[in-house]
Structures are given as structure tokens and as C-alpha cells.
Amino acid sequence: MSTPTQPTREYLAAPVHKDGAVAWLRKNLFSSWFNSVLTVLTMLALLYTIPPLIKWAFIDSVWNTSAEVCRDIDGACWSIIPRNIKFILLGFFPEGQEWRPILAMILLLGLVIYSKERHRWKKALLWYWLVGLIVMGTLMYGGVFGMPVVETGQWSGLPLTMMLSFFGMVCAYPLGVVLALGRRSKMPAIRTLCVVYIEMIRGVPLISLLFMSSIMFPLFLPDGMTIDKVLRAQVAIILFTAAYIAEVVRGGLQAMPKGQYEAADSLGLNYRQTMRLIILPQALKIVIPPTVGILLSAFKDTSLVVIIALYDVLKTTKVTLQNPNWTGYSTEAYIFLAVLYFIFCYAMSSYSRRLERELHTGH
């Protein structure tokens, strides 16, 4: 019997870069010939486009000069923004009263940021909001404490955009939930009414509703009665958004297993209790991502009021561009607006992602 053979020792070569920059490049950019070609082509495209853009936007550009200076430069004329910032953001709000919309906007943003934390979602928060909204309304409209009255026709720029989107979202959400419940109702008449409403609204563009509010609606009212133009547009946005919310919420309701309803029934809960305590909390939670999508489009869609000649922040920018001194710098002005919208939308969508994570109770 031979002695057990000594196991031969294999000497493996040291691994070729498992980490570090070279390995990262190899794994992520040059893993195959196809990927390598793709990387090289993309790099070339970027090299071709990015440096001239940077030169235009940062190197050759001016930031706060008069319009005359802009005529002589090749780069971006960002001066259009600081020189017109008051009109772009606040529009026709009367001279000397600018602090009022600014304060109102800060208050609104402050309340929104305060309400972000879930542990603050209590009854008291509702009161804060109520007081906050009254203060904001007073600030904007005036008429008390020596503040001159500012008619809603003069509300323009960013406050108008924020108001239209804020109330658009806040009022459309509950209306959408009610419509979704109506669509799932066992009563045929209620169901039909809701279905017709939802499908009609979803089938037509928002513009047609805005037209309806601006040119058709005055015909609906009795002689001598007028409703404010801003309010009419606001109602159109709410009615439009609600139909989309309703469809999203219906998806959530349909995803609830039948057992949830039966369990609620067997506990002796009535319809209202079943919905409020059992079904809606779960259904609304699972539809957070699509709901936020709808709310984001509602926010972006407020820019459509340009078409019915309301002076939201997009319209005030366009008016600025019609000023003979500043025509021709649309690119700069629109990029500024795009950044503004992007910040708001990005903040909302990242908040929704956080909320979704916090509310996730599954495994």
C-alpha cells in the first residue's frame, strides 16, 4: 500500500485587477467588442457636443449685464434672467407689494416641507394648513391691515403656477377617490355616471377643457354673474386631474383581494367603515407611484394655461422675450424655466420614492 500522495500545490496567478479603476473600466465599458465600440462612439459624440456647450454656457457667457452687452458676445446671455427676474417670477403684482407673494410662496413651501415628515401627520397639521392658507390668501388678495387689494387678474408668475398646481392636486385627489369608488359601486346609476365622466374627460385633451372654461363657461351662467377667470381654469384643471386619479385608484381597488372585503363584512363594518379603515389605506398605498406620476403631470400641465392667456411663469417668460431688448435669448430663458420645473418635479418624485419605502409593510 502506497503512502497517500502529497497533494500537489497549485499556484494560481494573481487575479487580474478585481477592483480598481482599470477593472471597473473593463467591466463596465469594455466588457465585449460591442460594448467597446459603443463606449468609443458615445465618447466621441460627447466630446463633439459637450465642450462647445460648456463654452457657450459658461465660458463665453455673461451673467448680469445690460442687453447691449449681450449683442456682442458669442456665448449665452444669462443676463436676461437676473434683469427680468421680478417680472418672470411675480408678473403683474403691483410695484412695492412684491413682498406679499414672496412671503406667501415661502409660507407654502415651508408648510409643504414641514408636512413631509410622517410623524407630523396629526389633526394639528390640518389646523396649521387652514391658518396657513388663510394667511396666504390674505397676503395675495390684501384689503386688510393696510394692504391694497390685488385682484386675481394680477396674480401671475410663479405664485399663479404654484397655486394652480397646489389646489389642482389637493382638490383633485379626494374627488378622484370618490369617482373611483363610484365606478366600483353596486348602484348602476352612480356607476354609469362615474364611468361616463371618467372616460369623457380622459378622452379629450386638457386644452379643450381649458377652452370650455374660458370661452364656453361664461355662457352657462345667468346674466350678470361672472366667475373669476383664474378660478375657472383652476376648476378645469381639478376636474381633468380627478378623472386620471380615479383610474389609478380604481387599479388599487381592483388589486384588493376579495377576502379583505369579506373580512370587513364579517366584522360588521358598514360600507364607510370598510372603505375608510380596511380598503382605502391599502389600495391608496399600492398606487403611490402612478398617483405621483399623475400629480406630476398635473403640475407640468398647469403651463397649458398660457394658451388661454393666464400669466403663469411660462407666459411671463414669453412676455419678457417679446421685449425688443431681450428678443433672441429664448434658449437661455427656457433653460432657466426648465431647471425650475425640473427641481420641483424631481423633489416630488424623490419624496414619493421615500414615502413608498416608509409605507412598505410587506416582506
Partner 1 sequence: MPSAVPFWRDEAKRAIVFQLAAIAIVFGISYYLFSNTQANLQRQSIATGFGFLDKEASFEIGESLIEYSAADSYTRALLVGALNTVKVSFIGIVFTLILGTVIGISRLSKNWLVSKLAAAYIEVMQNIPVLLQLFFWYAIFYEAFPAPRQALNPFTGLFLCNRGMIFAVPAAHPAHSAMGWTLLAVLVGGWVLNRWGKKRQAATGKPFPALRITIAAAIVLPAVVWLLYGAPTAMDIPALRGFNFKGGVTVSPEFSALLLGLVIYTSAFVAEIVRAGIQSVGKGQIEAAMAIGLRPAKVLQLVVLPQALRVIIPPLTSQMLNLTKNSSLAIAIGYADFVAVTNTIINQTGQAIEGVALIMLVFLVFSLSTSLFMNWYNKKMALVER
The residue ranges that bind partner 1 (CB under 8 A) are 28-29, 31, 35, 38-39, 42-43, 186-190, 193, 200, 202-208, 211-212, 215-216, 218-223, 296, 300-301, 303-304, 306-307, 314, 318, 328, 330-331, 334-335, 337-338, 341-342, 345-346, 349
Q: Which residues contact 361 (CB under 8 A, 6 or more apart)?
A: none
Q: Which amino acid is at 328?
A: G
Q: Which amino acid is at 161?
A: T
What residues pair up with 62 in beta bridges, in sequence order? 77
Residue 13 DSSP symbol: P
Place of cell 388663510: 134
Closer CB to partner 1, residue 54 or residue 149? 54
Least Å from the CB of residue 333 to partner 1: 9
Cell triple for residue 169? 392636486
Alpha-helical (H) ranges within the chain are 21-28, 33-54, 67-71, 80-90, 99-114, 123-141, 158-183, 188-203, 206-211, 217-220, 229-254, 258-266, 271-273, 280-286, 288-301, 313-322, 330-359
Using DSSP's 3-state secondary structure scheme, residue 312 falls into strand
Residue 67, Cβ neighbours under 10 Å: how many?
17
Query: How many CA atoms within 13 Å lie on the side-chain side of 113?
Result: 8
Least Å from the CB of residue 75 to partner 1: 14
Least Å from the CB of residue 310 to partner 1: 13
Closer CB to partner 1, residue 8 or residue 32? 32
Which of these, 316, 317, 312, lies nearest to 335 by C-alpha position? 317
Closer CB to partner 1, residue 57 or residue 190? 190
Query: 18-48 burial string, b = 16+ CB within 10 Å, else e?
Result: eeeeeeeeeeeeeeeeeeeeeeeeeeeeeee
Least Å from the CB of residue 200 to partner 1: 7
Closer CB to partner 1, residue 69 or residue 200? 200
Least Å from the CB of residue 51 to partner 1: 16
Closer CB to partner 1, residue 246 or residue 304? 304
Least Å from the CB of residue 342 to partner 1: 5
Closer CB to partner 1, residue 212 or residue 288? 212
Residue 307 DSSP symbol: G
Least Å from the CB of residue 32 to partner 1: 8
Least Å from the CB of residue 242 to partner 1: 16
- What is d(CA 150, CA 143) in angstroms, rounded to the nearest whole number? 8
What residues pair up with 157 in beta bridges, in sequence order? 312
- What is d(CA 24, CA 187) in angstroms, rounded to the nearest whole number? 62
* CB contact at 8 A, 237 and 302: yes
Closer CB to partner 1, residue 133 or residue 356? 356
Query: How many CA atoms within 13 Å lie on the side-chain side of 77?
Result: 21
Least Å from the CB of residue 64 to partner 1: 22
CA distances from residue 27 to 33, 43, 363 in whole angstroms, order as listed: 12, 17, 33
Closer CB to partner 1, residue 139 or residue 252? 252
Closer CB to partner 1, residue 29 or residue 125? 29
